[in-house]
Chains A and B, each alone.
Chain A
Amino acid sequence: DVKVTQSSRYLVKRTGEKVFLECVQDMDHENMFWYRQDPGLGLRLIYFSYDVKMKEKGDIPEGYSVSREKKERFSLILESASTNQTSMYLCASSQNGVYSPLHFGNGTRLTVT
């Protein structure tokens, strides 16, 4: 079974802090994604990556950056956390192909105070 592991289930950070959310997948998938989940808004794509050192903006990249130095690891960075970034963050991975299903981690619930 594919395993996508997010390093923290819960995080509480202060406004202005730099925050790192880490994600690791163990199936050698090429593609990795970061989504945020908010009630009534579903899942919205923040950033994604097709390969090491490559990144593409999703629908809501403002206030975020990402890093993919190794194929299995995709990090989401909040340069200066703000209260409107309080949310559930979900990492996902998939293989290349016409369509390959997304495999999600269990999420990190981030609270910014």
Chain B
Amino acid sequence: GQQLNQSPQSMFIQEGEDVSMNCTSSSIFNTWLWYKQDPGEGPVLLIALYKAGELTSNGRLTAQFGITRKDSFLNISASIPSDVGIYFCAGLQIQGAQKLVFGQGTRLTINP
């Protein structure tokens, strides 16, 4: 099946650093989403992007929907310990089906 290429697969950073991750695809998506999974829990939606070029913020998180509709990035500024987890990008092609395609995930580890 289709898959998004998410990078990096893992990051080890110091508390207070900024973080950047991205997703690319060979296909066009109508919607891009970013989810975060805390240890032992299911993924939770962080940000949803609905228009090409859209830049959206949610607190210290900023995400952009690429102008080509084939990519998206997520930035986290001034990381804190509770940012630890796995971040997933997901794309949606609206073809009468709400089937999301997920990236492989970025595992974020923060050294205090």
Q: Which residue from chain A places its CB closest to the CB of B89 in the assembled complex? A: A42
Question: Which of the candidate stretches B40-48, B68-76, B77-85 sits at the interface with the other chain?
Answer: B40-48
Complex Cα distance, B43 from A107, in Å, reads: 9
Q: Is A56 an interface position by the 8 A CB rule?
A: yes
Contacts of B48 in A (CB 8 A): 99, 101
- Give the shortest distance, in Å, between B74 (CB) and chain A (any CB): 15
- Assess whether B98 is in contact with A31, with CB atoms less than 8 Å apart: yes
Q: Which of A73-109 contact B (CB under 8 A)?
A: 90, 92, 94, 98-102, 104-107
- Assess whether A106 is in contact with B97, with CB atoms less than 8 Å apart: no
Contacts of B109 in A (CB 8 A): none
Complex Cα distance, B43 from A89, in Å, reads: 12
| Residue among A41, A56, A90, A92 making CB contact with B104, cutoff 8 Å | A41
- Assess whether A43 is in contact with B45, with CB atoms less than 8 Å apart: no
| Residue among A58, A60, A101 making CB contact with B99, cutoff 8 Å | A58
| Residue among B42, B50, B102 making CB contact with A99, cutoff 8 Å | B50
Q: Which of B30-76 contact A (CB under 8 A)?
A: 31, 33, 40-45, 48, 50
Given contacts A99-B50, A107-B41, 12 further A-B contacts (CB under 8 A): A42-B102, A45-B99, A56-B97, A59-B2, A60-B1, A94-B98, A99-B48, A101-B45, A101-B48, A102-B100, A104-B44, A106-B41
- Give 27 pairs: A residue, B residue, CB < 8 Å, sorted on A: A4-B42, A31-B98, A35-B102, A40-B104, A41-B104, A42-B3, A42-B102, A43-B43, A43-B88, A43-B90, A43-B102, A48-B97, A56-B97, A58-B1, A59-B2, A60-B1, A90-B42, A90-B43, A94-B98, A98-B94, A99-B31, A99-B98, A102-B100, A104-B43, A106-B42, A107-B41, A107-B42
Nearest 3 A/B pairs, CB to CB: A59-B1, A104-B42, A43-B102
Q: Taking beta carbons and an 8 Å cutoff, which residues of A are in contact with B?
A: 4, 31, 35, 40-45, 48, 56, 58-60, 90, 92, 94, 98-102, 104-107
